[in-house]
Amino acid sequence: MNWFLDMCIIIFYASDTKGAKSIKSKDFVNNKKDKKFFVCCYITKENMPKWIRRQHAILKIIGRKLKNPSCEIEKIEEYNLLFRQDIIILKKLLAQASCLENRQGYYEKLKKNHNLMIQRINYFLLKLIDKEVVPIKEINFELKSTLFTFLQNHSDAMTLASGIQYAQEEKEKELKILTGDKHDWNKNNLKWVFSSRPDLAKKYAIIPEIVYVQRM
């Protein structure tokens, strides 16, 4: 079986959290066997490096704040790199630290977990990916733009467009897309996309099945 992986699967695999998606992703990857894993170039070349940069920024901001509690995190240079969800995570971690006596020990643990996560991501990309597919410049603009109209998320549109495009170009009728995002990555969204653009429906007749890791 061939699998096109959403970036969240790699992050769930690398994370030390005990959530259901993380546990299921680890089980899925650790039982790879004869499965083939495909990841689009947009993830490996652009989206994942940016995500890692934001994780570095979160850690640096926490370090600065713990060292100087009076500093305003919004005025720290790295804060501008963060997305809304990153800021939520940052404030949650800072709130946890504020309740502890040994805040430096907490920070050292965060750094250790961060470094282990990055190592696991690098291992995944170097050792577990069978093929990087669809160069960024070759992603079909019309397909990506139409997906964005319904998803309203650039990263999702780029990644999902790559998966659909790869399935069609390689005639990968058995290809499945694995994600943890049930909200945006669903059959109804794809039906709306291709109902609105019959020309794209004709061009991309092979639509991979979307599988949710939490349901595996």
Residue 197 amino acid letter: R
pLDDT at 137 over 80: yes
Instruction: Quote the mean pLDDT of the chain.
Output: 93
Domain ranges, residue 187: 2-215
10 Å CB burial of residue 214 (0-12, 13-18, 19+) is middle
Task: Give the CA distances from residue 114 to residues 50, 74, 102, 110, in Å, rounded to whole numbers and listed in that order.
Answer: 15, 22, 19, 6
**pTM of the complete model:** 0.92
pLDDT digits (tens, 9 = 90+) for 57-101: 999 999 999 999 999 999 999 999 999 999 999 999 999 999 998
Please tell me the total count of domains within the chain: 1
